[in-house]
Amino acid sequence: MSQAQQLVDAVLESPTKWLAVAGAVSLVTYTLYLVFLSQYFSSFYNLPGPPSAHWFWGNKGDVLKGMMRSQMLWGDTFGRTYRTHSLLGNLEATTSDFKAITYVLGHPDLFIKPKGPNLLLSDVLGKGLVTVEGHTHRRQRRVLNPAFGWIQVQGMAPMILDKAHMLRRRMQRLLDDAPEPGVRQMEMIQQLSDVSLDIIGAAGFDIDLHALDDKPSVLREAYTKTQVIGGKMSPLVMLHLQMPATRMVTPNNRKRIVKASRAAASVIVADRKRQLAAEGTSLEKATPGKDVLSLLLKANMASDLRQDQRLTDEEVVDQIATVLFAGHETTATAMTWCLYLLSLNPDVQDRLREELQGVYEDDPDYETLHGLPYLDKVVHESLRLEAPVPFSSRVATSSAVVPLDTPVRGRNGKLITELQLSKGDLIAIPIAYINRMTETWGPDAREFNPDRFDRTDKRANVPGVWGNIMTFLAGPHNCIGHRLTIIEMKAMLFVFLRAFAFEIPPNKPEIGRTWLVIQRTIVVGEEAKGPQMPLVVRAL
């Protein structure tokens, strides 16, 4: 009997065993292909970039150790456009080229958010504006846009100032009870998180979430349990982001928690519908409040909106989680970084305080706040230097050619003037690095200098939706709530700096970064305690 016939007989006698062997061999072969050969067929193979640091993790281990550090190192070393190794040898491109970014963000149907990060957010946000794509995103954005215009945001200024004063009074009580009256070290992340949550509760839904006075709130309690942005990157989370299928084999109790959160949100939506309908003969004719939910419900019933463009009840409910997500931790984190930068730069803090104390009213209107030049520069510079969301990325839905403004010298020595992408290729946009590029912002790009905005330089070419920075992204998927974030920061700085001075604690703790979606502050050596920002607060 020939060896071939013996092999056939063995397979026929035990087909399950041999199928398992064949499957294992196929898996090993495919893994070896991914690790050792796939990069040679990648669209990005000829781009410069760091060598792979690990056969499985590629360069993701460096990202785990520090997103900001990796962005700065690789951008400074390899230039505007380079490639890195993802899991199992896959290559990804990273670009800070303005022309490429404009093209990618300007074609949202051709470049969508990666599946892994989107699933992570969808666990909490459902099918809200942050997670949907294509026609669904355009439909939701059209309905939501009126609620986030400048006129609507201006009308929110008195409420924002009122919440800021509530936190000021709470902090003053803490100072009055301090061992040394008038001065005390405080954990500012919690303070700023509470005021930001109450602001977004009022601005978003015209409800009091009671974070500042710690009274019961079903929605607040449900929301805090579902927060994904307060976590940190880990090998397991990285695995889920890069290989979404691995989510199926790890425990996830978030669905049960999110169900309770959506139930609370559904009650709010139903109550608001009844309230608006009671004010008019129909919901369409009702006079809406100034909060986002009321304006959203009104816009969703507009007579010029086709039925197929209206949001479903489920989508309206999902917008509540989206507004909380986009408007709470992002603003609280931005304010945390801002107060830290002002504490590191007391001369800037004193100069800003002098401008704010020159306003002879405790509750200025929007125009007054908007007209304070140094306040505007401080907020602008803080958002540039410490963007709450440090990067974004997109995946090509089909073959595409992405033009480059700055050609790249390929590994073969030839100039690359455009990127040839295949379906599934990923391009990362390093927001933090773009905001700190020396060729755009000058040699002091990584220093806190609000006066840089007195200069006219290359920043005019930055394709961001606001202020020539990438903090709020660009294109149809730009941050819809950026105007609200800006006025919140200005109002809080106005109230806080007129009442308090902020200082670095005497022990000068080293502040580091932790991130998942949001880049938050930690104390180095106390990472187990989670995000922290200890500052000395002194009454004036």
What is the structure's pLDDT at 133? 92
Q: Is the pLDDT of residue 78 over 60?
A: yes
Q: Is the pLDDT of residue 243 over 70?
A: no
The pLDDT tens digits for 441-452 are 999 999 999 999
Mark whether 174 and 34 lie in a shared domain. Answer: no
Mark whether 146 and 17 lie in a shared domain. Answer: no
Tell me the percentage of the chain whose pLDDT exceeds 90. 51
Q: Are 412 and 86 in contact (CB under 8 A)?
A: no
Q: Averaged over 503-528, what is the pLDDT?
A: 91
In this structure, what CATH number is given to the domain that contains residue 374? Answer: 1.10.630.10
Q: What is the mean pLDDT of the chain?
A: 84
**Structure-model confidence comparison of residues 131 and 396, the more confident one:** 396
The pLDDT tens digits for 136-163 are 999 889 888 888 888 888 999 999 999 9
Mark whether 457 and 321 lie in a shared domain. Answer: yes
Mark whether 167 and 29 lie in a shared domain. Answer: no
Mark whether 182 and 34 lie in a shared domain. Answer: no
Instruction: Decide if 482 is inside a domain.
Output: yes
Mark whether 149 and 253 lie in a shared domain. Answer: yes
Residue-number span of the structural domain to which 18 is assigned: 3-41
Mark whether 34 and 130 lie in a shared domain. Answer: no
Give the CA distances from residue 10 to residues 2, 7, 19, 149, 516, in Å, rounded to whole numbers and listed in that order.
12, 5, 12, 73, 52
| Residue set of the binding site | 479
From 208-212, 233-237, 311-315, the region with the lowest mean pLDDT: 233-237
Which range, 202-211, 303-312, 458-467, is most confident? 202-211
What is the structure's pLDDT at 269? 81
Mark whether 20 and 152 lie in a shared domain. Answer: no
Mark whether 206 and 309 lie in a shared domain. Answer: yes
| Residue set of the binding site for heme | 479
The pLDDT tens digits for 28-46 are 444 444 444 445 557 799 9
Q: Report DSSP letters for 349-408, one per residue.
A: HHHHHHHHHTS--SS--HHHHHT-HHHHHHHHHHHHHS-SS--EEEEESS-EEEEEEEEE
Instruction: Decide if 114 is inside a domain.
Output: no
The pLDDT tens digits for 296-326 are 887 777 777 777 777 888 888 888 888 887 7
**Structure-model confidence comparison of residues 10 and 90, the more confident one:** 90
Token pair of 524, please?
């180095």
What is the structure's pLDDT at 161? 97
Instruction: Decide if 414 is inside a domain.
Output: no
Instruction: Decide if 48 is inside a domain.
Output: no
DSSP assignment, residue 50? P
Instruction: Decide if 83 is inside a domain.
Output: no
Q: Averaged over 180-200, what is the pLDDT?
A: 94
Total structural domains in the chain?
Answer: 2
Strand pairing of 426-429 and 91-95?
A: parallel
Instruction: Decide if 384 is inside a domain.
Output: yes
94 pairs with which residues across the strands?
82, 428
Mark whether 373 and 520 lie in a shared domain. Answer: yes
Instruction: Decide if 335 is inside a domain.
Output: yes
Report d(CA 236, CA 240) in Å as an integer: 6
Instruction: Decide if 297 is inside a domain.
Output: yes
Token pair of 490, please?
């200005």
The pLDDT tens digits for 477-499 are 999 999 999 999 999 999 999 99
